[in-house]
A and B are shown apart, each in its own frame.
Chain A
């Protein structure tokens, strides 16, 4: 294996420890976000208690999928950003829109150097009553919407959200909608783990709820006898 560094010294080629989908939506009081606590190592479900959603400053919540070490590094950058913001001591604090922009610049500039931070990030928050929910990908694509998801969540969760999301969901409705999405991901995403965290951010602040497990349903008669009428099939 050729190990000596060449002109293009740094270049992330592939992720090692990865987190699966994150899903988030706007509701009446702010943003609700959900992610499982799994860290996969290739096809092995190696780590089962990794927190992939963290509060940022007073007004934002960051959720990440992709390489966990890069997410941990991003948290360090944001720590520094918030620290410097607090040191101004001017009564102002960075809101979700600003933090989202900062992240977009980091991700896009790393992409330009062919050394991306291998993450898909979801940044949600509320400041002065204004709700904000945005996403940034590892190549710097960014946008905001009423509901967002990363990874397989884009294919499995967003269709559900497009159908059932509406303005002014209550906390209970929002949580149940997220749980519906996470359950589908549990059924259909190989790298999903049944240990889920939901977090919320409102004007009052951020709360990351403790991990819990979802019940799953297997009692369809077709599941019990899948090959009835077609022996040899599956």
Chain B
């Protein structure tokens, strides 16, 4: 297969992004692959971006578009927080994201999942897909890898999970999507947000379960074959 590598193709985060509410907060998760055509431009990207201390956003689609939207929203929220005198609510953050996505719908190609915790409504997740619709959901999935997760979540999602159950679900889901989506890959990053604060976690491949037709990784074939036979001279 002789594919021309188009290094000037726009950076697109194929991506798998997930946001899940649990009993007390939210867990956001994402893969770490940014591709330029078929080349992986960044294999360890951080797609979960801080908007405020208590609200984060998962970015998918065009890397540039999602970065510029989150930069603007961070800027506006910073000023809003100063004027308000207290932390911004997740709803306000999500609506600012919606405003930019909707009013620039002809130019932008980015799907976002806004998640966070505030003292009024607790943990909340808002999906802002292409077009600028805003939809509050108990859990949201996005990016090209999410196609492989609709069935999984229909079956595995439950209301009122604990923090550990929620993070396990997110890790498992991103890992499953990475297994089947060529545009998703790398490591699984999670961000947990609740009343106590924010916790970032990092899970490389060896800390994730193996799926169908995947094998245990080794350093070399030689390790599997055992000690090499002494040469029979």
Taking Cβ atoms with an 8 Å cutoff, the residues of A that contact B are 1, 3, 5, 9-13, 15-17, 39, 41, 44, 46-47, 49-50, 67-69, 72-73
Q: List 12 A-B contacts (CB under 8 A).
A: A10-B106, A17-B129, A39-B135, A41-B129, A44-B147, A49-B137, A50-B135, A67-B133, A68-B133, A69-B98, A69-B131, A72-B134
Taking Cβ atoms with an 8 Å cutoff, the residues of B that contact A are 10, 98, 102, 105-107, 127, 129-135, 137, 147, 150
Query: Cβ of B129 and Cβ of A12 under 8 Å apart?
Result: no
Nearest neighbor of B65 in chain A, beta-carbon distance: A3
Query: Cβ of B129 and Cβ of A16 under 8 Å apart?
Result: yes
Query: Cβ of B106 and Cβ of A16 under 8 Å apart?
Result: no
Task: Please name all residues of chain A whose beta carbon is closer than 8 Å to the beta carbon of B131 when the two chains form the complex.
Answer: 15-17, 67-69
Nearest neighbor of A14 in chain B, beta-carbon distance: B131
Bound complex: CA A9 to CA B131 (Å): 16
Task: Please name all residues of chain B whose beta carbon is closer than 8 Å to the beta carbon of A9 when the two chains form the complex.
Answer: 106
Task: Please name all residues of chain B whose beta carbon is closer than 8 Å to the beta carbon of A17 when the two chains form the complex.
Answer: 129-131, 133
Whether A16 contacts B130 in the complex (CB less than 8 A), given A3-B107, A5-B107, A11-B106, comes out as yes
> Taking the nearest CB of chain A, how far is it from the CB of B29, in angstroms?
19
> Taking the nearest CB of chain A, how far is it from the CB of B148, in angstroms?
12
A15-B131, A44-B150 given; name 9 further pairs at CB < 8 Å.
A1-B10, A16-B129, A17-B133, A39-B133, A67-B133, A69-B98, A69-B102, A69-B132, A72-B98
Nearest neighbor of B134 in chain A, beta-carbon distance: A72
Query: Cβ of B106 and Cβ of A72 under 8 Å apart?
Result: no
Nearest 9 A/B pairs, CB to CB? A16-B131, A69-B133, A69-B132, A68-B133, A69-B131, A16-B130, A17-B133, A69-B102, A17-B131
Bound complex: CA A11 to CA B134 (Å): 21
